Amino acid sequence: MQLFYAPEITPPHYTLSEEESKHGVRVLRLKAGDTIHLTDGRGALYEGRIVEDHPKRCRVEILHTENPFEPLPYSLTMAVAPTKNNERYEWFLEKATEIGIDRFIPLETEHSERRTFKAERSEKVIISAMKQSLKAFKPQLTPLTPFNELIATPFDGRKFIAHCDLAIAPEGKRYLASTLKKGERALVLIGPEGDFSKEEIRMAVEAGFEEITLGEQRLRTETAAVVAVTMVSVVNNQ
């Protein structure tokens, strides 16, 4: 299946963007009469036939629509501090999109290594991963959000903060894969390489976040984030 991103699609006909047209006609060598699939990134999958194989404005006739197409059976938001090396953060965005996630929140913390976040390239990484993994839902990417602002924002579900320090709550830190129940909405916070500050952990716990561990091993930010996404997926697909 060749999947193309068509956020403004309006059947029965659609003209691919110049970038998608070039990829289809020049790179994949698709021709008029060939069948392709398109998604709006909001859950709809369209089957279409190319009627004009122009490399800048490839026109498609929509033949069939499936909506929703393989919706994610759970809801997950990951708030993760951007890494100093941008490629490492993009790796996380790519892998989390492939595994399954609803929303990314780049998180600004006290120990953050990077305090600016350019969303344009990250959006391209997410779109590419969505198409490569044949998904019809594009995860939302929010602007860089300060820690204080995020923990004060209401969330309808369970809220978790993963950190390497000693637990503040009397019950200690729970293992994410053991405490999360199938079908529960989840928000998971992952800090920077220097971890969350003690004050941030305290504030999060007071705001209703549950302290969690992802295992005994010490993980980099992007690795911890992918491990958390994988755990949530496994819990919900058992």
Contacts of 176 (CB under 8 A, 6+ apart): 160, 162, 188, 212, 213, 214, 228, 231, 232
Predicted local confidence at residue 114, as pLDDT: 85
Tens of pLDDT, residues 167-213: 998 989 999 999 999 999 999 999 999 999 999 999 999 999 999 99
Average pLDDT, consecutive stretches of 10 residues, N- to C-terminus, the chain (238 residues): 94 96 96 97 97 97 96 96 95 98 97 89 97 97 97 97 94 96 97 96 97 94 98 94
Residue 50 is predicted with a pLDDT of 97
Q: Could you give all domains of the chain from N- to C-terminal order, each with its CATH number?
A: 3-66 (2.40.240.20), 76-236 (3.40.1280.10)
**Confidence (pLDDT) at 11:** 93
End-to-end C-alpha distance for the chain, whole angstroms: 27
Q: What is the pTM of this model?
A: 0.94
Structure tokens at 15: 């003209």
pLDDT per position as a tens digit, 43-61: 999 999 999 999 999 999 9
Contact 48, 63 (CB under 8 A): yes
